[in-house]
Amino acid sequence: MPAAKKTGQQTLVFRNPPVIVVSGTVVGGKEAQGPLGKTFDLVIDDPYHGEKSWEHAERRMLEDAAKTALKKAGLSQQEIDFFLAGDLENQILASSFAACSLGIPHLGLFGACSTFYEGMVVGAVLIDGGFAEKVLVAVSSHCCTAEKQFRFPTEQGVQRSLAQSWTVTGAGAVILASQGAGPVITHATVGKVIDLGQGDPTNFGAAMAPAAADTIVRHFQDTGRPADYYDLVVTGDLGIYGRELAQGLIGDHGYQVEGRFTDCGILIYDHDKQDTHAGGSGCACSAVVTGGYLLQQIQTGKLQRLLGVGTGALLNADSPKQGETIPGIGHAVVIERR
Looking at the fold, whether 106 and 195 belong to one and the same domain comes out as no
Looking at the fold, whether 202 and 112 belong to one and the same domain comes out as no
What CATH number is associated with residue 190? 3.40.47.40
pTM attached to this predicted model: 0.96
Task: Average the pLDDT over 129-158 and give the result.
Answer: 86
pLDDT surpasses 70 at 152: no
Looking at the fold, whether 50 and 131 belong to one and the same domain comes out as yes
Range of the domain at 218: 184-336
Task: Average the pLDDT over 158-171 and give the result.
Answer: 85
pLDDT surpasses 80 at 62: yes
Residues 304 and 107 sit within 8 Å (Cβ to Cβ): no
Q: Which of 140, 158, 177 is the last residue of a domain?
A: 177
Mean of all residue pLDDT scores within the chain: 95
Give the H or E element holding residue 330. strand 328-336
Residue 28: CA atoms inside 13 Å, Cβ hemisphere, count? 24
The model's pLDDT over 236-273, given as tens digits with 9 standing for 90+, comes to 999 999 999 999 999 999 999 999 999 999 999 999 99
**Given pLDDT bands bounded at 50, 70 and 90, which one contains residue 320?**
confident
In total, the chain counts a number of residues equal to 338
The model's pLDDT over 178-189, given as tens digits with 9 standing for 90+, comes to 999 999 999 999
Q: Are strands 305-313 and 11-13 parallel, antiparallel or unpaired?
A: unpaired
